[in-house]
Structure 1
Amino acid sequence: MKGFIGIALAALVCLAPIAVQASTLEMAMRIQNNVPLCHEHPDYPWQGRVSGNAIDIGSDRALPVSFLGCFPNKKECEAWLGPAMGFVTGRLIYAKCTER
């Protein structure tokens, strides 16, 4: 029984960083999935772009992230920009709303 518990604990320690990476990836996908895509809205005149690094809690590695979305007006673009920038927990490289 002690051997099984030791193996289970070792597996948990080894797999924990993978679970954290998955959650970082899942969060990035949630952000991108909630953005109006430019190819679906070619008439939207505003483009929002955020890129930088998200620090993986399990490994302290910087994972590159980049988000792009198009919006009907500047106000909606800037409203999206804040939460998207909040996901960048490392170096913020670019965050801006511009006219297309």
Structure 2
Amino acid sequence: DAVIDKDLAGERLASSLGAEIFMILTDVEKVAINFKKENQRFLDVLTLEEARKYYEEGHFPPGNMGPKVLAAIRFVERTGKTAIITSLDKAIDALDGKTGTRIVKK
């Protein structure tokens, strides 16, 4: 059976519709590298280059944060616009630039 990833499908839809911002909602306020490790670090802003690097280094597990970060990367690649990953309860604050992780072109 084929599985359609909701984050990647959402990215395609957002890109096709010309969305100004692509927001992915999850259960954490910000994306982290070294998740649940002593050197865990939450990320406020990632350039496209940084996001790709951390993704390729395996910081974002498949089936968890991996598809979300990949969808954000693809949106920024295709549109040059901003993607945000945050929690539902922080969505408005993230749109206002107060929280969440933003993936930007540069």
Whether these two folds match at TM > 0.5 is no
Normalised by the length of structure 1, the TM-score is: 0.26
Higher relative contact order (CA 8 A, sep 6+): 2
TM-score (norm 2): 0.25
Bigger-Rg structure (1/2) = 1
More strand by share: 1
| Higher helix residue share | 1
